[in-house]
């Protein structure tokens, strides 16, 4: 008997566009000899499965089931590829926990914490060899907070929504005159905003996953952007950014990064595949943690897919490992 897997996508934020692209790749790549896959689209007040004929079949939220031609279909597990809320911030995880349905991503608590950049940094701060840029977490956009930023931090600074993804609402501020507009932009996306000092370094993104009971650290991708920083355009527009996989690091750096990111994965009690962004500072080579993404993109060109292929692994086998691992949990 093939296991029935719900592939959840869509979402409540601007990242739903990326989620749909990721889901399309997972849907066509996943091993159909092992799994029957049903793509479930989740939008505010509208959860449904779309049949081949285009009919939208609503999801029964009492048990997360669908009814196709008099037949009730329940799911053995969920492949979560829903970026942003509610797939990445713990809301869906909590719902599936209550129904006893396993899923491929981090649990409710880890998902909720890691969506908050400030809280995540506080938790990983004592991981050996890991450094964190000096930052301030803001809960309101006030003149008093602007003064605090100017007195406590040195320019240039990054301003980003604390719970956002895909670099939406993010700015690099080089003069204090730019500060009010950057804060307005970030607060338009989120009620909490993180302001942090700029670290001058080479930027990398690295995938880590648990499969067959073991944590695997994938080769890092080096991000070389023609833009000032890796913003939404740099992430999703061809030609703006050069992505080098494996990234250019010496043996010591490769070993040290692997040590650090495995510790971060364990410390945050991660499940499935996550992606960790970091800098290696120019002068010192020190590792500076940027953020963690617990539902990383799975498009053809996404970093995780590149990294999986770089170790000679088939992306289809990678998905199988993620699915089988969730049943072990």
Looking at residue 167, its pLDDT comes to 62
CA 43/CA 49 separation, integer angstroms: 12
Strand pairing category for 3-10 and 35-43: parallel
Question: Which residue shows structure tokens 């809960």?
Answer: 139
Rg (CA), the chain: 20
User: Do 105 and 323 meet the contact criterion of CB atoms below 8 Å apart?
Assistant: no
CA 229/CA 212 separation, integer angstroms: 36
- Token couple for 6: 């719900």
pLDDT digits (tens, 9 = 90+) for 185-210: 999 888 889 999 999 999 999 999 99
Per-residue pLDDT of the chain (329 residues; tens, 9 = 90+): 899 999 999 999 888 999 999 999 999 999 999 999 999 999 999 999 998 888 999 999 999 999 998 899 999 999 999 999 999 999 999 999 999 999 999 999 999 999 988 899 999 999 999 999 999 999 999 989 999 999 999 999 999 888 755 467 889 999 999 999 999 999 988 888 999 999 999 999 999 999 999 999 999 999 997 756 544 454 545 566 899 999 999 999 999 999 999 999 999 999 999 999 999 999 999 999 999 999 999 988 889 999 999 999 999 999 999 999 999 96
Q: What share of the chain is helix, strand, coil (3-state, %, to 5)?
A: 30, 30, 40
CA 13/CA 215 separation, integer angstroms: 30
Phi, psi of 163, deg, nearest 5:
-110, 10
Residue 254 parent element (H or E): helix 251-267
End-to-end CA distance of the chain: 20
Please, which residues bridge with residue 215 across strands?
210
Question: What three-state secondary structure class fits 19?
Answer: helix
Please, which residues bridge with residue 278 across strands?
204, 289
CA 24/CA 9 separation, integer angstroms: 9
CA 98/CA 12 separation, integer angstroms: 21
Looking at residue 227, its pLDDT comes to 59
Looking at residue 165, its pLDDT comes to 54
pLDDT digits (tens, 9 = 90+) for 275-315: 999 999 999 999 999 999 999 999 888 899 999 999 999 99
Axis crossing angle, helix 143-152 with helix 179-187, rounded to the nearest 10: 120
pTM: 0.89
CA 287/CA 211 separation, integer angstroms: 26
- Token couple for 91: 């809301």
Residues with Cβ < 8 Å from 12, sequence gap 6 or more? 43, 44, 84, 85, 86
């Amino acid at each position: 008997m093939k296991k029935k897997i719900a592939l959840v996508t869509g979402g409540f934020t601007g990242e739903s566009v990326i989620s749909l692209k990721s889901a399309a790749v997972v849907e066509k790549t996943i091993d159909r000899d092992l799994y029957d896959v049903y793509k479930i689209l989740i939008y505010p007040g509208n959860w449904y499965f779309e049949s081949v004929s285009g009919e939208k079949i609503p999801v029964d939220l009492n048990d997360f089931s669908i009814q196709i031609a008099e037949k009730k279909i329940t799911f053995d597990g969920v492949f979560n590829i829903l970026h942003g809320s509610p797939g990445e911030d713990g809301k869906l995880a909590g719902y599936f926990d209550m129904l006893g349905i396993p899923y491929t991503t981090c649990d409710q608590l880890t998902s909720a914490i890691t969506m908050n950049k400030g809280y995540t940094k506080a938790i990983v701060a004592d991981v050996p060899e890991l450094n964190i840029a000096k930052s301030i977490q803001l809960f309101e956009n006030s003149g008093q907070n602007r003064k605090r930023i100017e007195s406590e931090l040195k320019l240039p600074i990054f301003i980003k929504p604390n719970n956002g993804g895909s670099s939406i609402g993010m700015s690099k501020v080089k003069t204090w005159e730019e500060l009010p507009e950057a804060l307005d932009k970030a607060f338009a996306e989120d009620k909490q905003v993180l302001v942090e000092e700029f670290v001058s370094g080479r930027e990398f993104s690295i995938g880590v996953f648990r499969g067959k009971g073991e944590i695997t650290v994938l080769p890092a991708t080096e991000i070389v952007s023609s833009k000032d920083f890796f913003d939404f355009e740099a992430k999703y527009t061809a030609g703006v950014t050069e992505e080098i996989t494996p990234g250019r690091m010496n043996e010591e750096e490769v070993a040290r990064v692997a040590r650090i990111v495995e510790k971060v994965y364990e410390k945050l009690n991660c499940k499935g595949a996550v992606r960790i962004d970091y800098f290696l500072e120019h002068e010192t080579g020190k590792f500076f943690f940027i953020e963690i993404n617990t539902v990383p993109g799975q498009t053809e060109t996404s970093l995780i897919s590149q990294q999986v292929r770089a170790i000679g692994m088939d992306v289809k086998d990678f998905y199988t490992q993620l699915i089988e691992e969730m049943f072990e949990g």
